[in-house]
Amino acid sequence: MDFQPMHDRVLVRPMKASEHPACGLNDGDSDLQDAQEGRIVATGNGLRDEEGMVSPLDVKAGDHILYSQGVGSQVQIGGINLVIIKEADVLGTIG
């Protein structure tokens, strides 16, 4: 894939319900009901601070994540539906 997110953005392939591995999360939690699962396809390099130093992201390509529902920009690259989100919208990694 020839797409490189900028700064603190990540490119995510959302997972359909049938693709979700059993992760042992409590489905009754309202925060998790508002979450989306996906796999990170690509990441930006990180944010640059006032001194010009880049702070790398905590997530990487291949990570299975939960992220806030309704955030980011939906795009289609190479015929695949993807979402570009900020790292701050990643709630956590699974596995």
pLDDT of residue 30: 47
Q: pLDDT by residue (tens digit) across 6-22?
A: 999 999 999 976 555 55
Q: pLDDT by residue (tens digit) across 25-84?
A: 555 554 455 679 999 999 999 999 999 999 999 999 999 999 999 999 999 999 999 999
pLDDT of residue 48: 92
CA dihedral 64, 70, 75, 78 (to 10 degrees): 30
Instruction: Confirm if 64 and 54 have CB atoms less than 8 A apart.
Output: no
Q: pTM of the predicted model, to two decimals?
A: 0.81
Joined together, the tokens standing for residue 70 give 């309704």
Q: How far apart are CA 92 and CA 59, in angstroms?
A: 9
Going from the N-terminus, what domains does the chain have, and what CATH number goes with each? 9-94 (2.30.33.40)
Joined together, the tokens standing for residue 48 give 């640059």
